[in-house]
Amino acid sequence: MSCAQDLARYRALFEPKGVIVAGASSHPGKFGFVAAHNILAHGYAGRVFLTNREGGTILDEQTYRSVDEIPDGAADLVFVCTPPASIPDLLRSCANKGVTAAFVSSAGFGEAGEEGLRAERELASLCDELGILLAGPNGQGIISTPVGLCAQIIAPYPPAGRIAVASQSGGFVQAFLNYARSTGVGVSRAVSAGNSASTSVADYLEYFASDPATDVSLIYVEGLADGRAFFEKARAAAAQKPIVVLKGGITAGGARAAASHTGALATNDRVFDGMCRQAGLSRAATVEEAFEIAASFAAQPLPRGPRVFVLTTAGGWGVITADRISQSRDLQLLPLPADLRAAFDAKLPPRWSRNNPADLAGSETRDTVLECLELAVAHSDVDAVVLLGVGIQSNLGDLERRSRFYPAHGLERIVEYHERQDTRYATAAVELSRKYAKPVLVATELADAQPGNPGIVKLKELGAFAYASSHQAATALEHLFRYRRWRDRRGL
Amino acid sequence: MSPSTSTLSEWESKHRLAAAGIPVAEERLCSSAEEAAIAASELGFPIAVKLCGPAIAHKTERGLVRLGLRDGDAVRTASTELLAAARPEDGRVDLLVARMVAGKRELIAGLATDPTFGRCVMLGIGGIFAEILADVVFRLVPVSRTDAEEMLDDLTHRAWLGPFRGEPAVDRERLVDVLVGLGKVAEEDARVRSIDVNPLIVANGLPIAVDALIEVEG
């Protein structure tokens, strides 16, 4: 993306003032219906024009027989669902109407053999000629929550947020959007790159880096046509914002018969991994980890250093979390500072662990968890806090609420108290993180086991989320810290 | 090796590395057994003698390396045998006479051309288990000092670079010099396809290139 004109075309793709759905269909089983339906059903505020050769209405909208009937300058994006042979003429008409971006969902191009590949190259050069940014072909669509755009032939429509997704697989766009829905950590833009005839994942990264609606990019890549260009663009984008990468397709490509030992050891996975480290990209090991790291970048400030403090009301979790952090190549379990121990001593009876992990050992009263949490987050030696035990009280409350004795015997009152406490803990985790600009990560199995737990719900409401285990929280923290370190070492 | 590439002689390979700031074992190029014996006595024993020429890539497999030679007679005998082992297709050959470098640890370093990302610098744990451990890390050329420093820390067995059996820790700055230097050799000559520095012996904490081979296009 080299100039203002390019930027304007990306804006047409992600923030169009009007959208043409070319090849809209009245048949609910067809992509031309699904695309039209999804755009119309999700609150997109711009104008939507459906074209259909037969005319008539679709989804209560009067259709146009041809793009030529659409008012000049009313749409800048076309979502194409028509067969490949019809697309060149269609795009010429669209260009005449002021369209500057096209998302081509139609299949039958590069993925369909030699002839398709030729058609794809012609399509790319035609778009160049017409001044149209070409996304796809053979892609599943675009999401842009700031303008309520759901121009895709897959589900779901995610909550609004700060993660931008670009993927070489439409299936992984879908997977990430579903994780966004389940965690509540939302998405700004999403695009299925399809065959990337002229716009690659690296190009989307460049746009996301300059996009005020985006804080972190999340990408899935398999093959890269130009690895060098990817590296250069991704590194420049990573200097602006964090990028999380999921890579598919590990082959032994580099381990071919090579003249040199070095060549024999240069498998494509190892080279890709080194490229990621060099470019400041956070490479995820699994699909769910990829989303979680991106969500962590979106929800948490970067830690200034590697020193982690663990605060728990659930003993075993604290020990396991401390073990995990102690074994990390990047993080450190902070030895409990003397002044912090003294400050905790003043708040707690002597049976607390007097160590990091700080296990409050059931000695907490109404406000001690909150007070100790603030002492820890505020301490100058602490770079990040993992908070364990949120939701435990409401978990008991849930059991009590379902009991035949409820609401008598004081159960109603105590259940309300439990739930209020967890809500307060969740709120404090988020507020203290913001107040002191340090990550505060909540981890509990209740994230999966009891998603309706008031502690979990509160976190979600505040744009944060609970990690289903402390291992996942530690992994996320490692990525946050490594990105911060990558920046610091390069004076960024 | 693909048919469109050739290798530089070990002597020339090492010269290019040394010019890029990579520490290389002290050695002399000699054309006769007598010359080799004199060079050996100047360098100090024990001595390694290798047959060296632009067309010779796999010296060890062909038995063209003699190690641990302890006096002038041994050097003279070995040199005579090596010169006799040369084949007509080897073209011009010389004797490479080097002082043996003693160290308990071996690294492997080099440069490879990746089909997707192009030329990249490698660092790994060397020695006889290098391929089994496969503890290697890569960075794309050009490699900055910061990139190189991070390579050291990315090794799975990074503790291996610490103090070891009475030897000091590996001098990080010197090792960074090696990695940055490998990138420079590639940058200065677009024809360079691969470089093997194997072994890169750690002698008293200092990495020294003991064998090196540069593969170039054409």
Per-residue pLDDT in tens (0 to 9) along chain A, 492 residues: 557 788 899 999 999 999 999 999 999 999 999 999 999 999 999 999 999 999 999 999 999 999 999 999 999 999 999 999 999 999 999 999 999 999 999 999 999 899 999 999 999 999 999 999 999 999 999 999 999 999 999 999 999 999 999 999 999 999 999 999 999 999 999 999 999 999 999 999 999 999 999 999 999 999 898 999 999 999 999 999 999 999 998 765 544 445 577 777 888 899 999 999 999 999 999 999 999 999 999 999 999 999 999 999 988 999 999 999 999 999 999 999 999 999 999 999 999 999 999 999 777 788 999 999 999 999 999 999 999 999 999 999 999 999 999 999 999 999 999 999 999 999 999 999 999 999 999 999 999 999 999 999 999 999 999 999 999 999 999 999 999 999 999 999
Interval B183-196: pLDDT, tens: 999 999 999 999 99
> Of B63, B80, B99, which residue is a domain's last?
B99
d(CA A220, CA A284): 10
Note whether B116 contacts A270, CB cutoff 8 Å: no
- pLDDT for res A68: 96
What the block records as the tokens of B195 is 């470089």
- Identify the three-state secondary structure at position B106: strand
Nearest-angstrom CA–CA distance, B159 and B75: 38
Cα–Cα–Cα angle for B95, B99, B102, nearest 5°? 135
> What mean pLDDT is predicted for residues B5-18?
93
Strand partners, A152: A141
**What pLDDT does B112 receive?**
95
**Are B92 and B142 contained in the same domain?**
no
Q: Is residue B183 part of a domain?
A: yes
- B113·A263 Cβ contact <8 A: yes
Chain A residue at shortest CA distance from B111 = A262
User: Residue A465's pLDDT is what?
Assistant: 93
Q: Which of A224, A231, A263 sits opposite B112 (nearest CB)?
A: A263
Name the residue facing A265 among B57, B122, B139 (closest C-beta).
B122
Task: Tell me, yes or no, whether B76 lies in a domain.
Answer: yes
* Domain count across chain B: 2
- Please indicate whether, in this complex, the C-beta atoms of A490 and B115 are within 8 angstroms of each other: no
CB pairs under 8 A between A and B: 104
Task: Give domain status of residue B8, yes or no.
Answer: no
Q: Two tokens at B46?
A: 């024990």
> How far is residue B31's CA from residue B92's CA, in Å, rounded to a whole number?
10
Select from A260, A268, A489 the Cβ nearest to the Cβ of B146: A489
Give the model's pLDDT for residue A1.
56
Same domain as B64, residue B35: yes
The answer to whether A262 contacts B130, with C-beta atoms less than 8 Å apart, is no
- Give the span between the Cα atoms of A209 and A240, in whole angstroms: 6
Contacts of B120 in chain A (CB under 8 A): 266, 271, 274-275
- Give me the residue from A228, A265, A277 closest to B117, CB to CB: A228
Stated as kind and residue range, the H or E segment containing B148 is helix B145-154
The answer to whether residues B119 and B192 belong to one domain is yes
Q: Which fold has domain A301-489?
A: Rossmann fold (3.40.50)
Which residues in chain A (260-319) have CB-CB distances under 8 A to chain B? 260-266, 268, 270-275, 277-278
The verdict on B90 and B122 lying in the same domain is no
Chain-centre distance for alpha carbon B170: 17
Min Cα distance B29 → chain A (Å) is: 24
| pLDDT value of residue A193 | 96
Percent of chain B with pLDDT over 70: 99
Domain that includes residue B117, residue range:
103-217
- Give bridge partners of residue A80 from the DSSP assignment: A22, A104
- The 3-state secondary structure of chain A reads CCCHHHHHHHHHHHCCCEEEEECCCCCCCCHHHHHHHHHHHCCCCCEEEEECCCCCEECCEECECCHHHCCCCCCCEEEECCCHHHHHHHHHHHHHCCCCEEEECCCCCHHHCHHHHHHHHHHHHHHHHHCCEEECCCCCEEEEHHHCEEEECCCCCCCEEEEEEEECCHHHHHHHHHHHHHHCCCEEEEEECCCCCCCCHHHHHHHHHHCCCCCEEEEEECCCCCHHHHHHHHHHHHCCCCEEEEECCCCCHHHCCCCCHHHHHCCHHHHHHHHHHHHCCEECCCHHHHHHHHHHHHHCCCCCCCEEEEEECCHHHHHHHHHHHHCCCCCEECCCCHHHHHHHHHHCCCCCCCCCCEECCCCCCCCHHHHHHHHHHHCCCCCEEEEECCCHHHHHHHHHHCCCCCCCCCHHHHHHHHHHHHHHHHHHHHHHHHHHCCCEEEECCHHHHCCCCHHHHHHHHCCCCEECCHHHHHHHHHHHHHHHHHHHHCCC
A258 neighbourhood in chain B, CB within 8 Å: 1, 112, 194
Q: Which residues 81-140 of B are in CB contact (within 8 Å) with A?
A: 108-118, 120, 122, 124, 130-131, 134, 136-140
Q: Rounded to 5 degrees, what are φ and ψ at A76? A: -120, -5
Residue B66 located in a structural domain: yes
Q: Is the domain of B81 the same as that of B182?
A: no
* Chain A residues touching residue B155 (CB < 8 angstroms): none
The domain limits of chain A are 1-139, 154-299, 301-489
Reading phi first (left if > 0) and then psi (alpha if -120 to 50, else beta), residue A136 is in left
Of residues A262, A264, A489, nearest to B195 (C-beta)? A262
- B92 shares its domain with B107: no
Residues B46 and B75 in one domain: yes
Residue range B37-60: mean pLDDT, rounded: 89
Q: Which of B1, B122, B140 lies at the smallest CB-CB distance from A262? A: B122
Among A224, A258, A265, beta carbon nearest to B116:
A224
Closest alpha carbon within chain A to B128: A261
Does any domain span residue B188?
yes
d(CA B212, CA B181): 13
Determine the pLDDT at residue A385. 98
For A154-203, the pLDDT digits (tens) are: 999 999 999 999 999 999 999 999 999 999 999 999 999 999 999 999 99
Q: B122 with B172, same domain? A: yes
Contact: A260, B151; criterion CB under 8 Å? no
What ipTM describes this predicted complex? Answer: 0.93
The reply to whether residue A268 touches residue B114, judged by beta carbons under 8 angstroms, is yes
Among B113, B117, B196, whose Cβ lies nearest the Cβ of A261? B196
Q: Which of B135, B140, B154, B215 to mutate to test the interface with A (most CBs of A within 10 A)?
A: B140
Q: Which residues of A touch B118 (CB under 8 A)?
A: 227-228
- In tens, the pLDDT along B117-165 reads 999 999 999 988 888 899 999 999 999 999 999 999 999 999 999 999 8
- Contact: A260, B112; criterion CB under 8 Å: yes
Mean pLDDT computed over every residue of chain B: 93
Is the pLDDT confidence value at B1 over 50?
no
Q: Touching check for B215 and chain A: CB below 8 Å?
A: yes
- Nearest chain A residue (CA) to B108: A262
Q: Is B7 on the interface with A (CB under 8 A)?
A: yes
In this structure, what CATH number is given to the domain that contains residue B91?
Answer: 3.30.1490.20
A18: β partners: A47
- The nearest CA of chain B is from the CA of A281 a distance in Å of 13
Q: In the CATH scheme, what is the code of domain A1-139?
A: 3.40.50.720
What CATH number does the domain containing B198 carry?
3.30.470.20
Output the pLDDT for position A342: 97
Determine whether the interchain pair B114/A278 forms a contact, defined as Cβ–Cβ distance below 8 Å.
no
* Chain A nearest-CA residue for B147: A278
**Residue B161 forms contact with A (CB below 8 Å):** no
Query: Per residue in B84-124, pLDDT tens?
Result: 999 888 888 999 999 999 899 999 999 999 999 999 999 99
Domain presence at residue B14: no
The answer on B116 and B158 residing in a single domain is yes
B114 in the same domain as B89: no
Predicted pLDDT of residue A362? 76
Q: Are residues B54 and B81 in the same domain?
A: yes
C-alpha A344/C-alpha A223 separation (Å) is 53
State how far Cα A433 lies from the chain centre.
20
Query: What is the model's pLDDT at position A252?
Result: 55
Domains A1-139 and A154-299 share a fold: yes
The answer to the question of residue B70 being in a domain is yes
In this prediction, residue B53 has a pLDDT band, given cuts at 50, 70 and 90, of: confident
A residues 230..259 contacting B (CB < 8 A): 231, 253-254, 258-259
**CATH 3.40.50.261 is right for the domain spanning A154-299:** yes
